[in-house]
Structure 1
Amino acid sequence: MPRPRPPPGFITIGDGLYTSLARTSSTPASSTRFSVTRICPRVILIFGWMGAHLRHLQNYTRSYTELYPNATQILVKCDPSFLWSSESAKQRRLLPVVEALGTLGCLPPKPDSVEGKQGLLTGARPRVLVHAFSNGGSTQLTVLGRLLSTKYPSPIPPPQVINALVLDSCPAAGNVSTIKTAFSIAIRNRAKLYFVLALIYIAHAIRLALSQVFGKQMMIMEYLKLQLFKPRILPWMAASTPRLYIFSKGDVLVPWKEVLEHAEASKEKGLNVHCEMFEESGHVAHMRQDPKRYWRSVQDIWDTACRHVEDQNAA
């Protein structure tokens, strides 16, 4: 089956993986919907929700192009099959993302290279904004984190990278009912859906039994929540990295109380947590309901990251 065409302005770098080419000059703020901040991200890493079509994700890539016109965007789609693939298969699929991040200067040189022997990250300081949607997108985020941790076991000093994390409609373990609803939306073929659901129910029952012995980390979504508690999900992240949770009381797939509990627990663990709670928007539909508020909150979290690094440098 031929690969789908990439969104306008993007090129394909892998299976469901795309990157844009940054513009060479900034678009004046007066010609965009949004005001452009003084310090903008150089790289925006977007993890789509499970089953999201490119036309849906383009609503975000287009807005990011207007908000931060000179940033390079890396877009990662989430096919339902990703969730039941083996860990090694998941990591192999994301290798082109690692290569792109390295090319864009977001990762330290390899230890055996000349640059690696001289020190970390020569040249311009990377500025990275990560945006993950739903459990599917945040699962891919944590897989990338595990892949990078094997390649770059030593953390990058936080002042070296200005960065922020946006978690839209996640994380939450939910229950069998919400899992069924999520896959019913993502998989339109009924025969394939019933087959997948049967496998999920079997796996859920097995993991539930194992969790009674080995702990709740045996449950896939509970494991995801534990992974997102890590200060260093990606090599350049730290406890000081601003994290924005965007969620809604109207989300029937991801219970808002569960997201809020994760945010509050993260804050208790010393993470830099911010929340934007909507009242009526559905799952991954907060931007559609109130785009001005949505993008203002994203821009605010990025500005927070910039101010934090400026304060560190001034100290």
Structure 2
Amino acid sequence: MASNAPTPPTKASPLAFMTKISPSAYVYTPPSDNSNNTNTNGDPKFIILATWMGARDLHIAKYLLPYLSLYPSSSILLLRSEPRHFFSKTAGPSDVAPSVPFIKSLFTPSSQTGTSEDKPQVLIHLWSNGGSLLLHHLRLALTPQLLPKYIIIYDSCPGQYRYLSAFRAFSAGLSGVLYYLVAPALHLFCAWGWFWHVLIGKNQTGPLAYLNRGHNDVEKLGEREVRRGYIYSEGDELVHWSDVEAHAGEAKKVGFKEVRLEKFEGTGHVAHGRGEENQKRYWEVVRGLWEGTLC
């Protein structure tokens, strides 16, 4: 994957080449000599990466850099999910709002000259339920007509509410004394969520159920979405494989035409591209979904 993509200057700051426009949003515009139109060089015009909750810079870079290498002429929006986005109704919308002017600047009428309305121009990749939440807020901030046709990759998501999965997600990164101080409150919070959304709500209530329905809203998304793929594994301890397959099955049922399941063996949550063989297959899946060439 040779390219002219920038290399992060230091390990301590692997996202330094991007422009931070909000506490959770970063943008990247390729050099002028790389920024050809997607219809002339095959690259997406725009890539949206919505990462998992609490993702660290170094871990994000392991996905960001291959994207820069694969598609050097693509502009990129990076959305980072944090726990506060699940606890505050205003944090997510506030953090994604500055992304809207950037997107508008890419898809002005003049920028569409010479493009084919049948081809996707945008590639969306979201990881876990955290990425799912921020993508939801971004969609609410955009008018339906603003974002051109796209393909979307659901990585380690979407999942339904599960007690242990919720606890593991919110306690990730905690250790030592801090873990023992915070864990009891997290257990209570997750137990409350299980009681209301699973026992009482039958997995039809709560933020995850709301997000899952939103991703399969064919009336709002059907005309814009060209194809979708799900990357998942039975080794994922945070998002159960059956939840992913159930969501994909529902997508087909309601009318999404191209739905692809890519099941990896034994890989963990947001880690399906680790290891030489998995990494090769992972990026072949990404490229194949974008190009529509997966067998």
TM-score by length of 2: 0.81
Q: 1:232 to 1:17 in 2, by over 3 A?
A: farther
Q: Which residue matches 1:199? A: 189
| Contact 2:148–2:224 (CA under 8 A) maintained in structure 1 | no
Q: State which of 64, 69, 73 in structure 2 corresponds to 1:61.
A: 64
Q: Which residue matches 1:184? A: 171
* Amino acid in structure 2 at the alignment position of 1:255: H
Q: 1:233 to 1:72 in 2, by over 3 A?
A: farther
1:72-130: per-residue Cα shift (whole Å, max 9, x none)?
Answer: 111111111111111x332122101112211222xxx6xxxxx7xxxx97536482111
Quote the offset at 1:195 in angstroms.
3.2
Identity of aligned residues (%): 28
Quote the offset at 1:287 in angstroms.
1.1
Q: State which of 267, 290, 294 in structure 1 corresponds to 2:282.
A: 294
SS of match in other structure, 1:49: coil
Give the RMSD, CA atoms, in angstroms: 2.9
Q: For residues 94-243 of structure 1, what are the structure 2 equivalents within 5 Å?
A: 94-105=96-107, 122-123=112-113, 125=115, 127-148=121-142, 152=143, 155=145, 161-188=148-175, 189-190=178-179, 191-207=181-197, 211=201, 216-231=203-218, 238=223, 240-243=225-228
| Contact 1:9–1:21 (CA under 8 A) maintained in structure 2 | no
Give the distance between the partners of 1:65 and 1:232, measured in 2 at CA. Answer: 33
1:175-232: per-residue Cα shift (whole Å, max 9, x none)?
Answer: 11111111121444323444344334334434557637xxx44222222211111236
Q: Which residue matches 1:250? A: 235
Q: State which of 12, 28, 44 in structure 1 corresponds to 2:20.
A: 12
SS of match in other structure, 1:257: helix
Q: 1:233 to 1:97 in 2, by over 3 A?
A: farther
Q: State which of 269, 276, 280 in structure 2 corresponds to 1:283.
A: 269
Q: 1:202 to 1:174 in 2, by over 3 A?
A: closer
1:226-268: per-residue Cα shift (whole Å, max 9, x none)?
Answer: 111123666xx63752101000121121111110111111111
TM-score by length of 1: 0.76
* Amino acid in structure 2 at the alignment position of 1:247: Y
Quote the offset at 1:69 in angstroms.
0.6
Give the distance between the partners of 1:264 and 1:165, measured in 2 at CA. Answer: 16
| Contact 1:49–1:135 (CA under 8 A) maintained in structure 2 | yes
Give the distance between the partners of 1:131 and 1:233, measured in 2 at CA. Answer: 19
| Contact 1:80–1:186 (CA under 8 A) maintained in structure 2 | no
Give the distance between the partners of 1:76 and 1:227, measured in 2 at CA. Answer: 18
Give the distance between the partners of 1:194 and 1:143, measured in 2 at CA. Answer: 30
Query: Can you give the 5+ residue segments of structure 1 that lack an aligned partner in the other structure?
Result: 28-36, 110-114, 308-315
